[in-house]
């Protein structure tokens, strides 16, 4: 039978249990990929870190930072595995941090969405995206949340790779900052109000 003290200790421990979320921004490492459309996942996480006064450090398979907000811990990772092996880093950090799959959010570029549009989904197909394909193959499921950031599809036939690996135009850069800020707020909402309410709020903006 538990003593009053031990019951208090158990209750205190449960109350103070850290709730963690893994936020994975997809992209490629290397100077040649900085500020490219395909690296919007990195860019969004850099914006979150910069506005919060935290810095990324190199760790196992990823650059990693921790952000705390409203009693929640957001483990931010930018995989260094290159896009096609993104799932390897995500799987490692889910296990290392003991984070459940429902607390995973992946930020990725999306050609099917107009530039600057943000769509949050609780699951879905890889849509031909190599990063999402890697995640699905390694986790053996597509039931994880993703924040899709629209990069548009203003490219000639056969120039898709050149387009996604290209940098933003000056016109796009003028609009990009507030849309990135919107994505940062959506990440915080994912961890505080839940995926369903997050979708209701941000998918309509």
In 3-state terms, what secondary structure has residue 20?
Answer: strand
Mean pLDDT of 20-34: 96
DSSP codes of every residue in 134-197: HHHHHHT---SEEEEEE------TT-HHHHHTSBPPHHHHHHHHHHHHHHHHHHHHHHHT-HHH
The values of phi and psi at residue 156, to 5°, are -75, 160
R_g (Cα) of the chain, nearest Å: 18
For 71-115, what is each residue's pLDDT tens digit?
999 999 999 999 999 999 999 999 999 999 999 999 999 999 999
122: CB partners within 8 A, 6+ apart: 143, 145, 195, 196, 199
Does 103 participate in catalysis according to the annotation? Answer: no
For 180-191, what is each residue's pLDDT tens digit?
999 999 999 999
d(CA 179, CA 174): 10
Q: Are 124 and 142 in contact (CB under 8 A)?
A: yes
Q: Which string of b and e fits 25-45 if b means at least 16 CB within 10 Å?
A: bbbbbeeebeebbbbbbbbbb
Query: What is the CATH number that goes with domain 18-202?
Result: 3.40.50.1470
pLDDT of 15 higher than 50:
no
What are the tokens at 131? 């990063």
Q: Which of 38, 64, 179, 188 is catalytic?
A: 38
Looking at residue 3, what is its pLDDT? 53
Q: What is the DSSP letter of 90?
A: H
d(CA 173, CA 180): 11
Looking at residue 8, what is its pLDDT? 46
pLDDT of 55 higher than 70:
yes
Residues β-bridged to residue 68: 73
Question: pTM, whole model, 2 decimals?
Answer: 0.91
d(CA 181, CA 187): 10
What are the tokens at 105? 């959010």
In 3-state terms, what secondary structure has residue 83?
Answer: helix
């Amino acid at each position: 039978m538990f003593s009053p003290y031990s019951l208090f200790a158990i209750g205190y421990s449960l109350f103070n249990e850290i709730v963690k979320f893994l936020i994975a921004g997809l992209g490629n490492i290397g100077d040649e990929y900085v500020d490219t459309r395909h690296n919007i996942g990195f860019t969004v996480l850099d914006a979150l870190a910069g506005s919060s006064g935290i810095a990324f450090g190199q760790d196992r398979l990823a650059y990693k930072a921790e952000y705390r907000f409203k009693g929640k811990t957001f483990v931010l990772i930018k995989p260094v595995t290159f896009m096609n092996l993104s799932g390897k880093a995500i799987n490692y950090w889910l296990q290392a941090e003991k984070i459940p799959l429902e607390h995973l959010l992946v930020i990725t570029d999306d050609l099917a969405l107009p530039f600057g549009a943000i769509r949050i989904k609780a699951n879905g197909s890889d849509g031909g995206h190599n990063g999402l394909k890697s995640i699905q193959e390694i986790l053996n499921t597509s039931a994880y949340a993703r924040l899709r950031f629209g990069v548009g599809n203003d490219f000639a036939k056969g120039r898709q790779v050149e387009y996604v690996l290209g940098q933003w135009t000056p016109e796009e850069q003028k609009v990009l900052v507030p849309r990135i800020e919107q994505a940062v707020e959506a990440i915080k909402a994912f961890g505080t109000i839940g995926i369903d309410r997050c979708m209701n709020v941000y998918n309509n903006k």
